Chains A and B, each alone.
Chain A
Amino acid sequence: MPRPSSDDPRITLDAQPGPDLFEAIPPYPTRTEREAEFYTLGDGEMFLNVGPQHPATHGVLRLVLKLSGEQVVDVDPVIGYLHRGVEKICENSDYYHVIDQVDPLEYLSSLFQEWAAVLAFEKLMDVQVPRRAEYIRVLTAELLRVSSHTLYMGFLALDLGGITPILYSFIERDEIVEMLAAVTGARMLFNYYRIGGVNGDLNHEFMSRLGDWMSRAAKQTEANATLLNENEIFVRRARGIGVLDRETALRMGVTGGNLRASGVAFDLRRAHPYSVYPELQFNVPTREEGDSLARYLIRVDEVRESIRIIDQCLHNMPDGPIMAKLPRLLRPRPGRAWAAVEGPRGMMGVYAISDGSDQPFRFRIHDPSLLNLETVPHLLPGNLLADTMAIVSSLDPVLGGIDK
């Protein structure tokens, strides 16, 4: 590490403590016009650095807030603290290994990344997936959606200062990941979907845990949601905060629950159906308000719909193989494929190009959290510091996916 020169403004910190210390320290030198504008303080303004280590940031998001009193004037979200180069790693691993590389992207909903990758590869190789495998995929993925949404509700409450709902959420999530662990072998990074099917059939432990959970899931979800829905303080803090209107949402490429909370009934499961979703009956809940409360309520509704889907999956589950017949070494024909699934946070997409070798030539991951998070600079200014958490948390970003 080079020794800092004495004219670097950052090292005057311990040289002379005094009023100089209160001056802002910009990235040195400022790289863009926007950065120069942002790091010029107006009258009575100050910077507040929230993150990457802060009790309320999700993962390692860093928000540099320009505050005037308690009011947020401007915000500069800084991402990239969790960058691991997953796309490049995927391009250097063969098609089977890609699946466990994409697992830790959005670590709360790993099956959806696997699904997107597997779906893209199946398109690339023209594989017909057995119907039982498709049903198993839908079943496990919807379970994980419930888990992710439940955790979202808890964390939203935690960021608003309520400490109890998060533990109720974790109880639900724990039951779900335990039952998924029974069938996949892992609690978090499942590595379960395979090109052409799934790895391992449903077993007795999974079914018994699932039956146990389903017997009270709907009731328990309602009870957990009631903790917040009917809490006057929570509703007042979330209502009318961070309103994302329909046009902005569409222009910014927002997907998932955040888009549906702005009144656009766009759900990939209905808009571009994949797997066996056309055979299943469920609604796409939408809301018109586009504020934090709407984004929260959309999740509550989606949990209800997911429980409906799980119920239908259990009733319609066909017998049969769970894997298509595939060669050991996969060498798809040169070509390109795009596949996207509706994850808990929105459109989880994968764009894969094959050059005929056993490794993808290009593996591009489209993560919904990134586009959702990009609306933060539009939503925050004008709100109070406390609303920062209500807004960012309600967008449900997962930094593992954003930083890739």
Chain B
Amino acid sequence: MSFATRTWTRMSIPARLLAIFVPLAVVLAIATVLVIVVLGGPFVDFLSANLPLVRFLVAATAVLLMTVPTAFVIIYLELKVIARMNLRIGPNRVGPWGIAMSLIHGFKVLSKEDFAPTGADLPVFTLAPVVTYMASVMSLLVIPFAPGLFGQDFNIGLLFFFAMGGMTVVGLLMAGWSSFNKYSLLGGLRSAAQIVSYEIPLTLSAVGVVILAGTMSMNHIVLAQSGSALDWFVVKQPLAALIFFIAAAAEANRTPFDMTEADSELVAGFATEYSGMRFGFFFFAEYVNVFIVSALIATLFFGGWTAPFNWPWPYNLNWLDFSNGTLWIGIAVIGSIIVTDVLAVLVRLFGGRGWNMPSAMILGFIFASFIVAGVVGLAGFIAFDWVQGLFWFMAKTYAFVFVFVWMRGTLPRVRVDQLMGFAWKWLLPASLLNLFVTAAAVVLLSR
């Protein structure tokens, strides 16, 4: 027992969390399996009878689980990219190239005191981060990541997305109001004014796309753009793409439109009084929002998961029968052994002195693993169009994430009246003009 106690006291906080949660997860998994086995028949029948519900639950869980790593990646990207733009190095201590930095940020946030100020409206104060975070997560449900890889294919997908985007402002307003802090209040009101104003050009610029695609389902919008880069809607709707990008930056509260948390004016805006994981939820929601608006730009205007050019060769590999899985596993194993030995001999022959056969074998094995992993990955990439689709989708999305980070590193913040003036005097007329021209063109050309 003393051994266990001593081990426990020497554990770091993350290790303790893992020590609690990993056995718990294992036990729960075993229990679930047992339950399924024991109650198997009726349970499976029930699930198959309610397939949409199951799909929704699985998708919601997957999306929820996806948000945190996504936020981590974007936070790390932002730390590193802005550091490079500032001629700094950025995080480089935790993990290789500092890649665990945002993970540590997450644990730091978890281990902090959860503080609520005197005079705060506690139920609203507690609910606000949840509302903001859930709004972001729910928006992810309708985004098609790859062919067949989406939460729900609504016929009103885009509308659902904007509705959920509008929910964010409710959370921010709740946070601003309930914090009992004037900075928070100003931040919340600013965010309400800003997001409500920018929703209009955002939606209107997307209506042009809807007219062209003839549907509001995100999947069908992507399918309408399939082909090459010339079929993307950014070619037909460049003005709408620009308006959408600007309005999306405002929608995600990114620089130069980060009015709500303008740190040089309102200390941290709506999040001033938040600490611990409540702040963490706002923090994650902000970065998930960046991902979401980038994904939406990629989906609506840059072809979603479609490849930017006609992708000839994967479809010419029909002679490879990937359905016979075991055969290919056998070929992979034997091939990797042969490659390992060949590489080991090569290392032994040309590696110079100091390479005895065991270490040459190890090095050969490492090389061979890379080669096999590459071959398998390539095969998967070629064979499964959802892997391809995910690749293109993520490439496009992270390109826009990078642009948002780049903007943050480059631009100062605009003023509140300039922000509102820009939305109402420039973006709104421009998006109306775009909508008019698009609709007129569609009507005239369809005659």
Tell me the A residues contacting B by CB distance below 8 Å: 13-14, 17, 21, 46-48, 54-56, 70, 157-164, 167-168, 171, 231, 233-234, 236-237, 384-389
Do residues B85 and A21 form an inter-chain contact, with CB atoms below 8 A? Answer: no
6 additional contacts (CB under 8 A) given A48-B186, A162-B412, A163-B409: A48-B182, A55-B267, A162-B411, A168-B87, A171-B87, A237-B412
Q: Which B residues, 31 to 90, have Cβ-Cβ distances below 8 Å to chain A?
A: 82, 85-88
Which residues does chain A contribute within 8 Å of B411, judged by CB atoms?
161-162, 231, 233
Which residues does chain A contribute within 8 Å of B262, judged by CB atoms?
161, 386
- 28 A-B pairs (CB sep. < 8 Å): A17-B118, A21-B119, A46-B182, A47-B182, A55-B263, A56-B263, A56-B265, A70-B186, A161-B262, A161-B263, A161-B264, A163-B86, A164-B409, A167-B86, A167-B87, A168-B86, A231-B411, A233-B256, A233-B411, A233-B413, A233-B414, A236-B415, A236-B418, A237-B412, A237-B413, A386-B265, A386-B413, A386-B415
Task: Choose one: A55, A161, A384; the contact of B413 (CB below 8 Å).
Answer: A161
Do residues B182 and A14 form an inter-chain contact, with CB atoms below 8 A? Answer: no
A14 to B263, CA, bound (A): 28
Report the minimum CB–CB distance from B260 to chain A (whole Å).
Answer: 12
Q: Does B339 contact A (CB under 8 A)?
A: no
Judged by DSSP, the binding face of B is loop
Q: Does B102 contact A (CB under 8 A)?
A: no
Which residues does chain A contribute within 8 Å of B418, judged by CB atoms?
236-237
Q: Does B286 contact A (CB under 8 A)?
A: no
Do residues B85 and A54 form an inter-chain contact, with CB atoms below 8 A? Answer: no
Report the minimum CB–CB distance from B225 to chain A (whole Å).
Answer: 32
Which residues does chain A contribute within 8 Å of B118, judged by CB atoms?
13-14, 17
Which residues does chain B contribute within 8 Å of A387, judged by CB atoms?
415
Report the minimum CB–CB distance from B85 to chain A (whole Å).
Answer: 6
Report the minimum CB–CB distance from A260 to chain B (whole Å).
Answer: 24
Do residues B86 and A54 form an inter-chain contact, with CB atoms below 8 A? Answer: no
Which B residue's beta carbon lies closest to that of A54? B267
Q: Does B155 contact A (CB under 8 A)?
A: no
The 6 A-B residue pairs with the shortest CB-CB distance in the complex, in nearest-first order: A161-B413, A162-B412, A56-B264, A167-B86, A160-B412, A17-B119
Which residues does chain B contribute within 8 Å of A13, judged by CB atoms?
118
Q: Does B253 contact A (CB under 8 A)?
A: no
Which A residue's beta carbon lies closest to that of B418? A236
Q: Does B273 contact A (CB under 8 A)?
A: no
Which residues does chain A contribute within 8 Å of B410, judged by CB atoms?
162, 164
Which B residue's beta carbon lies closest to that of A234? B412
Which residues does chain B contribute within 8 Å of A21, judged by CB atoms?
119, 180
A70 to B417, CA, bound (A): 10
Q: Which B residues, 73 to 113, have Cβ-Cβ distances below 8 Å to chain A?
A: 82, 85-88
